[in-house]
Amino acid sequence: MGLTRRDFTLGAGAAIGLPWLAAPRAAHAATASAVLGIDADPPTLNPAMSTDYGTGDVGAKIFEGLIWLDRDYQPKPSLATAWTVSPDAKVYTFTLREGVTWHDGKPFGADDVVFTFSDILAKYHPRTSAVLKTIGAVVTSPDPKTVVVTLQKGYAPFLVQMSVFDAPILPKHLYSGADIPANPANQAPVGTGPFRFGGWTRGATIQTTRNPAWWGGAAGLDEIIFQIVPQPANRASGLETGEIDAVVDFYLPKPDEPRLMKNPALQFRKGINIPAVYFLAFNTARPVFAGKEARQAVACAIDRPRLVQQVMNGLARPGYGAFGDGFKWLLDPDDNYAKRYPLDPAHARDLLAKTPAAGQTVSLVYDAARPQLRATAQIVRDNLHQIGLEVSLLPLERAVGMEKVFTQHDFDLTLQSYFSAGDPAIGYTRLYQTQTGNKALTNATGYSNPDVDRLLAEASVAPNRDDRARIYRELQAILNDDLPSLILFDEETVDFASKRLSGLWPAIDARDQWGGVKMAAD
């Protein structure tokens, strides 16, 4: 018998000492198995508890929302087959899909949706919890196949937020009456989606297998294996050797992408992306960055165009302002970083000299597995050294870093990136809204401004885009001055996959809608 591709993978991995080339490729030679490269173990596999990118990547194959979003941000049926909206846009009535079962065989119904909204999303989701509170959402089920969401205030992007990344529906029978954050189902999830959880070998692989009872019919792949590849260069080379079948932009080093785009064995999707910002957050609760003058000095010292060229290989745009530049309708051309904070190390030194930050050494925490953050950290350290502010780099494994930043608040500076999820009210409100707890992937800076909180709430419920734009411009005037976080750049994405895969990327988010993906035979 000849060697299969997976047999070769196992042998090659052993020969050249790459532990990420692991056994699953050899173990499933007879199946339509796609290997997706990711960078680290997610902190949880429950996307209702975290907006961690890896959590969403795995979770989108296992769970579903009421809708999914196509490439034009248009909602499409998922667990809901239809919906109506009242004339005042405050009552949303969803008709649920019939015949859906959870992966453990239990029937799916309206009680699951009501419970998910009331007991999980409203309490734990980093983006959706604040929104549900702001708009005063009440979720009811008049019958087992209907869910009604009544809003006390209108909310422009409500339907957009009903996807699996912001409103995944969880099984009530596994979570009701349990300690939700500690529930074992967070690590061994049970969903309704096209793939079932198959196993998790920490530091190596997460396996999902085809759900034979999926309402959408048989998924095109027998299994999806998430291969944990800590080294960014190995994720790119895995695509080139064919040992990895797909990698989304988030996990790839930007310098490798032009070369990958020329590879005849690969296909890619460029430019169809959800706005996302990379930013430097200041711990305003510590004296060194308690005053905005020190933060403004940093803004004048960091070479944002250099970050775009050297970190992102030109596949990004320099930070524009508090909400990036991905939503053109809210930008204020008269109030942006280029005008407020042009690169000026001499001015930055003068500003810094008047603050407690002068001559200090500060910590910079970032995710060690992400090449963009690592390269950004090195340039930030170099830039700040030039103005007399020394930076101690703290690259940490993702879960450890999240604990340090969002739970312990033990940092001076941190590099993070947030996806907008299609609307600034969904993805970016959490960056500036007052947070008194330790919820992950929210505002960890300690910044709290009642005017900002009020305007963020108003922007989310304003009846039309012109009104929203006016409010967001008022917000930018405050936030561009206070600067609790400094937007470094807006990214531009390129997602890659083997040409052996078909049916890719029907959704705006490359992680979503993998039920229809197929693989050509070897």
pLDDT in tens, 475-522: 999 999 999 999 999 998 999 999 999 999 999 999 999 999 999 987
CATH superfamily to which 5-42+193-272+494-519 belongs:
Periplasmic binding protein-like II (3.40.190.10)
Asked if the model's pLDDT at residue 205 lies above 80, the reply is yes
pTM score above 0.85 = no
- 399, 96 Cβ separation under 8 angstroms: no
Rounded Cα distance between 277 and 351, Å, is: 26
409: phi > 0 → left, psi -120 to 50 → alpha, else beta; which? left
* 12 — pLDDT class (breaks 50, 70, 90): very low
From residue 246, how far is each of 68, 275, 338 by CA, in Å?
21, 21, 37
Q: Which strands sit side by side in the sheet containing 276-282, from one edge to the other?
A: 316-318, 485-491, 276-282, 413-419, 361-367, 390-396
Fold exhibited by the domain 67-175: Dipeptide-binding Protein; domain 1 (3.90.76)
Please give the full DSSP string across 460-482, using - where no structure is assigned: HH-SSHHHHHHHHHHHHHHHHHH
At residue 20, the pLDDT reads 36
Rounded Cα distance between 286 and 421, Å, is: 31
Burial letters 416-447, b for 16+ CB under 10 A, else e: bbbbbbbbbbbbbbbbbbebeeebbbbbbbbb
Least confident of 22-36, 99-113, 380-394: 22-36
Fold exhibited by the domain 276-491: Dipeptide-binding Protein; domain 3 (3.10.105)
Q: To which residue do tokens 């064919």 refer? A: 242
Percent of the chain at pLDDT above 70? 94
Rounded Cα distance between 446 and 91, Å, is: 35
At residue 274, the pLDDT reads 84
Helix (H, G, I), strand (E, B) or coil at 152: coil
Q: Choose between 327 and 20: higher pLDDT.
A: 327
What does the pLDDT average to over 286-299? 98
At residue 15, the pLDDT reads 28
The residue extents of the domains of the chain are 5-42+193-272+494-519, 67-175, 276-491
At residue 323, the pLDDT reads 97
The torsion angles phi and psi of 227, rounded to 5 degrees, stand at -90, 120
At residue 181, the pLDDT reads 95
- Please give the DSSP secondary-structure letter assigned to residue 507: B
- 518, 246 Cβ separation under 8 angstroms: no
CA nearest to 335, candidates 348, 317, 321, 347: 321
- Tell me whether residue 513 is exposed, middle or buried, using C-beta atoms within 10 angstroms of its C-beta: 0 to 12, 13 to 18, 19 or more: buried
